[in-house]
Structures are given as C-alpha cells and as structure tokens.
Amino acid sequence: MQKKIIFIILAVLFFTLNINVYAESVENQYKIVINVPSKKLTLFKNNIIIKEYPVAVGKSKTQTPIGEFKIINKVINPYYSKKNIPGGSPRNPLGSRWMGFKVHYGIHGNSAPNSIGTFASGGCVRMYERDIQEIFGVVPVGTPVQIKYDLIEVVNDIDGEEPILIIYPDYYNKVCNIKELIKQKLEELNLYNEISDKRLEQITKLDKNKKIVFSNNLTFFINKKYITDDMKIIDGVYYINLNKFAKWLNTNIPVIYNENYVYVMGNFIKAVYVDNKYYIALSDIQKLLGGQLDINKDSYLIELSTDAVFLNNKYLTNQVLNITANPKIGLSVISQYLDIGIQIEQNKIKYYLKNGKEIPYELYEGIPYVDANYLKENTKLILDISTFKKQLTITKSPMIICDGVIYESVLYDNELYIPLNILDDSNLNDLNNIFVNSERIPVICVENTKYIPFDKVKKLFNLIMNDYGTKITLNKRIFNISD
C-alpha cells in the first residue's frame, strides 16, 4: 500500500513538472521563418515578430531547401571541413556561428558580408556576423525553422492602409502561373477592380531579375519600409505626402509662412498644397536623410536607402557609420540629448559622460564619432541595431526635473517609471499601496528605490517634455491621493 502511495505521488509530481516545462516552452516559443525570394529571415516569439534580418540564400544551382525544419545543432566558431579552414579564422566562410537545420545545411555567419541580400550560397542561409551572433544567443536547439518560397508579399503603407503587392523574382524558376496568383491575391484584397488590366499585362514583360510593385501609382519606400503611394508629379518633380513622411520620422512637421513652407529637422522646406494635403519634394527628402535614391518607373518603385539613428523612436540623424558591423555615431548630434558634456581644451573638443569620464572618438570627414559599443557598455542607454532597416535605435529613460530637483527614471517592461518620492510623501501612509483617483498604482523597487508608472500619475503634473523625451520637467498640481 505504501509503495502504491509513493508511486501515485511520483506520478503526480512528474505530470506537474511536465506541465510546467511545457507551459514554459510554449510561453517562450521561438520560430524562424525564411522567405527565399525576399531574402529575409523573420524571428518570431509566441507568434509575434521580434526582428527581421537580411540574409543570403542559395544560388539557382545550389538552392536553399524549402520546407519545415528545426535547429538541430549550434556551434561556436565552426570548422569548415571542405577547405580545412579552422573555426575562428577570418577566412572561414561559415563565420563565427552555425545553427544547423538539416544535414549539411545551416544558418551561419560569413566572411563575405557583401553577399548578404543576394543568391550567393551553396544552399545555406548566410547572415551578417552581428546578426547571427544576436540570434544565436536567443533561439535554442529545437526551434522550428520554416523556409518558404513566396513570390508575392502584401504590405500596407506606414499608416497600415492602402495595401499593395510586391512581386519578387522567381530566381529558382519554381512558379509558372504568377499572373493567376496575382489575380487571386488581388481578389482576396478586393483590389482587382482597382488595378488596371494594362498594369496586369505589364507584369509578364518586366525584368524577371527585379522585384516589382503592383499598384496603380508609384510607391515610396525608405529602407524597405513602404511609406506611401500618395505621390504627385508636378512639372517633372516628385512630391511625397508630407504626413506619411512625418510618420516615418515620428515627428510633427509644422506648416509656416502662409502655408508655403514646412519646418523639418531645423530646415525650412518649400511644400505644395494639392487636394487638401501637403506634399514635400522627393529631392528635399533625400537632402534631409542622405543616402541613395533609386527610381524605377516601370516597377512603380522609388526606394531611398540611408543609414538612420532614432532616439526614443524618433528620427535623429544619419550620422552613423558601419551599421552592419561595428556602428559609430556622430557625437555632435547626440550630445545635446544624452547627458554628454562638451569642453574645449587646448583647441580640442572633448566629450564627457555624466560621471566625468572622457569619451574616446574618431574623426571622419571632420565629424567626431563614438563607438556604439562604448556607449552601450558605459551608459544606461539601450541600443538596438537593425541591419534590415539600416537603423540604430537609442532608448534613453528621461531625466525628471521636479521643483528644481533632478531624478532618474527607469524603463521597466517597456514602460516609463518615475521615483515614488516625487509625490508628496506626507499624503502617503502605505508606500506599497498607492491610489490615485481610486485607482491602485503599482510600485516597483529598483536598486532600493521605489518607482511608479509615469502614465498613471502624469495627470497630477503640468509637464514640459523636450523633443526626444529625454528630459521632462514636472510642476506639481494639487494631488488627489488616498490610501
């Protein structure tokens, strides 16, 4: 009888432990999806897109296998047996990381970064070294890998509206009915009657080595992001919908001077007013952002490719170098927003961190640049680099100034928290249970300091925020707090 009871207890424990393990694995489930024609790898977690990466895939004679796979092994500094190249060698075509998904096939780094975004491999999937090291540290063995061959992609503009089709080249010659597939997709989107038959006929006559946008108008992309098809051509000049461009910048663009000019990034730009909307010249957008502009009228495609730095999700500058490997950021632009001090000593400009530590930098064309890794290691800044978007994003929790006192805020679970003692302590009896207008406010503790979510209490203040949300000045109102 005693043995039977012990067996039942062990069985219950085993069942419970397995449920917990399963729940944890489901909760943290990753998935890799690679679309060969678009040469893009997408990382999912719990069916939510975490990040997108550019990749190189197999050549037509050595195609990347299509199907459902799993990560079967992970290797640091893999050995390249074909040419007897040791792991860790800069000549190793497998790079510094290998994630096998099929015998002889894997996702790996490489020694030829210029091949990324092309059909170049012997069937494996190549990534930038930065990217493979990032994803290698995230996904475990057993992660599902789906490799598909979708020539047609449906994308919406920057406002999530006006869907269009992108048709990628059939590099592996796998699809023979592309025209019928396009018609089917258009009917699914209720767009078939809006697209001209002439445009549909043009598809089969275009260059099969280039992607094509299927729409009734020219479309504008910045760094592979579809911005809008709301464009005008006036006297041979291309104009872009101003509000759509402002959405990509994530900033408001005021109209001034009797509605003839707009103020963008410290510049006065002439605008045109057509059909109750403002438009800005494409040439002016390129001057503001820099980069390379490609206009393909046959493909209905205008693409601007430019490196970009965003601060707190708002465009800041194009002063960034080597974004696919070891990025460096222009110091003169970011210093005014990131608590970086400037001094001139012996006719040389020196930059200092908040703790007084001097920042090392290098000059490129007379502009001082700091290594992004240095900022990441020596400050509380959060840096994220997307080689797919050609974008470096800096996240900085704002400095809080209240009644002349400076406080530090924190980011917790993607939400801004401010110190609890900014509130009037005399009105608080229990610092673990705060109520504002009868709503309970959560309290967290970070490094022995208690914080509360800013969004829950910001109505208690008159506030002034700088352009990039790196400094917030609060003036107290009359609190309505009860415990």
Catalytic residues: 108, 124
Q: What angle do CA 66, 70, 75 make, to 5 degrees?
A: 110
> Side chain identity at 14, as an amino acid letter?
F
Alpha carbon distance 174, 167 (integer Å): 14
How far, rounded to the nearest angstrom, does the alpha carbon of residue 176 sit from its chain's CA centroid? 35
Strands 308-311 and 391-395, bridge-based pairing: parallel
Alpha carbon distance 474, 467 (integer Å): 15
**Long-range Cβ contacts of 358-362 (<8 Å, 24+ apart):** 359/331, 361/331, 362/328
Alpha carbon distance 129, 110 (integer Å): 7
| Backbone φ, ψ for residue 95 (5° rounding) | 70, -155
